[in-house]
């Protein structure tokens, strides 16, 4: 497997080489996602980096158990989207999930809910900060953002750990950065 740091050089090529790999969140992180999405009563979730949809299953299950909602996922490998849709169908969760095909920098730049409750960042690490910036105005107060393998994105970690930017943030188990949106920057 190519070194994770390579995703900073050419993320499309890097993930293209890994298109047959599920690259899932850990079992513990999957459970954490379910628990967190339940605890903030998430109804609108955005996921950057769907792959085979393992994290998506945990988040969509939380939506179902919260009474319904919508998860917008993103993935540029079409074969992975097919696998993710099969997994979601097997789990009876398809009706809660829309997976947008293409680069998330484009697919998550449009047609989003006015208020987002929960975000998972799990795509190319060099895009964590640009993707957060795309979504930021829609994060409701108290929204949670989980960034997997956040240590590979120091600029992202610096942004969310500065209270002046409107977040509370802590490193969490399994190399997760857990952040809460407090309000607009400076508040």
- In angstroms, give the least distance from the CB of 169 to ligand SAM: 20
> Should residue 71 be labelled a site residue for ligand SAM when binding is judged by CB under 6 A?
no
> Should residue 49 be labelled a site residue for ligand SAM when binding is judged by CB under 6 A?
yes
CA distance 174 to 105: 26
> Should residue 104 be labelled a site residue for ligand SAM when binding is judged by CB under 6 A?
yes
Sign of CA dihedral 166, 170, 171, 176: negative
> Should residue 80 be labelled a site residue for ligand SAM when binding is judged by CB under 6 A?
yes
> Should residue 126 be labelled a site residue for ligand SAM when binding is judged by CB under 6 A?
no
Candidates 144, 5, 114, 130; CA nearest to 74 is 130
Q: Are 38 and 16 in contact (CB under 8 A)?
A: no
User: 33 vs 139, which CB is nearer to ligand SAM?
Assistant: 33
User: 44 vs 166, which CB is nearer to ligand SAM?
Assistant: 44
> Should residue 74 be labelled a site residue for ligand SAM when binding is judged by CB under 6 A?
yes
Among 42, 62, 71, 124, binds ligand SAM (CB under 6 A): 124
User: 12 vs 171, which CB is nearer to ligand SAM?
Assistant: 12
Piece in contact with ligand SAM (CB under 6 A), picked from 69-77, 153-161, 163-171, 176-184 = 69-77
CA distance 135 to 159: 14
List, in sequence order, the alpha helices (H) in the chain: 11-17, 27-39, 54-65, 78-90, 104-107, 128-135, 154-160
What order of strands is seen across the sheet that includes strand 97-101? 97-101, 70-75, 44-48, 116-121, 139-148, 176-181, 167-172
> Which residues form the interface with ligand SAM (CB under 6 A)?
11, 15, 23-25, 49-55, 74-77, 80, 103-105, 122-124, 127
């Amino acid at each position: 497997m190519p070194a994770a740091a390579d995703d900073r050089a050419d993320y499309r090529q890097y993930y293209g080489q890994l298109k047959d790999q599920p690259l899932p969140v850990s079992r513990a992180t999957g459970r954490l996602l379910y628990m967190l999405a339940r605890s903030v009563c998430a109804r609108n979730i955005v996921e950057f980096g769907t792959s085979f949809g393992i994290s998506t299953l945990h988040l969509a299950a939380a939506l179902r158990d919260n009474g319904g909602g919508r998860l917008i996922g993103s993935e540029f490998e079409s074969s992975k989207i097919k696998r993710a849709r099969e997994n979601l169908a097997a789990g009876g969760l398809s009706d809660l999930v829309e997976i947008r095909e293409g680069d998330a920098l484009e697919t998550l730049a449009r047609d989003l809910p006015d208020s987002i409750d929960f975000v998972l960042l799990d795509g190319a690490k060099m895009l964590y900060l640009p993707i957060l910036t795309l979504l930021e105005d829609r994060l409701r107060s108290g929204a949670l953002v989980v960034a997997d393998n956040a240590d590979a994105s120091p600029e992202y970690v610096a942004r969310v750990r500065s209270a002046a930017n409107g977040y509370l943030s802590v490193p969490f188990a399994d190399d997760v950065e857990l952040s809460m949106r407090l309000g607009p920057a400076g508040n």
